[in-house]
Structure 1
């Protein structure tokens, strides 16, 4: 049965068998999103657990999706699936407080340097701002790298009108304006990044390559990609939150 017909059958009847068929139709979407998030959360959760959280988001999306709205289901479901996983991970409180504190301090240092020097600062400047040596700086970045990616997902979720707890498919005029401004600000920040950082953003978020694949392309170490990515996220989070 074609998806369009399946959707109409489910929305017209509410029959569970049609909903179950829709779940089967879109389960690959859950697996794709779960695989991506699994790499973000590293070894802190099992892949199968993420898939199960994602399925909750998919079911919620199927039940609440309005065929009359001019929104693709995949777009709507994507954010609800991610939102369901993020909500569950928040409830698990899987990041130690000490790591969260280190990330906040690191983010504040990046923002301060960004305000003072734009992109004209280096790792030595960050280390000096944090009052640590380079080895300590890289140890900190290694510890907070997983949290930084997850926190960017949370920040996007917080600033999205398609949150998992929301029944709305439409933007209000005010929210649409704020959303467009956030997108424009984020685009400007990405465009203003140094070329190598901008390349990492494009390869990781748009081409969806792994750190290892990006490292091979840029001919630098995988750990260096992780370090650069963590700094990029600190910059992007500030923009999304504005």
Structure 2
């Protein structure tokens, strides 16, 4: 800690040695000014944290002194966040930075709720808050589709198991090996692997062939380029589904006329000849039936 504590009034009482020649002033509240609290050794950080917590409890919230004590406590205990983040080291570098940021939020919540009267080490109190915030972050933002918590946790266990095998073998573990390692059935492992597909959603701008060397006929094509276009016939399918309960409400002759006109594609004259009525009568019946169906569709829209 040499050179970090500029003056240690109130610090020597806690067994923290004062660096030689340290003579810069402390804060008006008697707290030491730390040039870089993140570089304080873990043992000294614990002692200093206790000192800052003692002062934090009597300082008025919102004051500069309270803010200084609170911010310093965060810097002194960032190692707890890094410790918790190591549990998720199988994730990428960019995501690790997000994990540390989210974990720091958990650390701040722990600082705001910690009381020395609990007679428990701050690290013991804070780590569950930090891990809880990180896990909440994963639960709320990481999964592209909703996946049961059990399968979310299983995905993490499978990833850890694969990391374990990567250190001892140059090949991907089989489902059977994963099942034996995790003491699960092969069906459970397969379910976890399938569920992991919901962890991220691929972009429509991704190339259809990531290994494409740019020479093929499909070079530069994305998934969006090969997706099908809107099918006009789908609207007809939707209309048929909506019409089904309305058709059931028609009488037998009305349903027969609709079936012959639009199902068998008969002309009005042919329908008239089939039913033994005039073409004009068929036209009136058809118009009345279609109006009835149209009204039913509009009322259900």
Q: Which has the higher contact order (CA 8 A, sep 6+)?
A: 1
Task: Flag the structure with higher helix content.
Answer: 1
The structure that has the greater radius of gyration is 2
Q: Which TM-score applies when normalising by structure 2? A: 0.36
TM-score by length of 1: 0.44
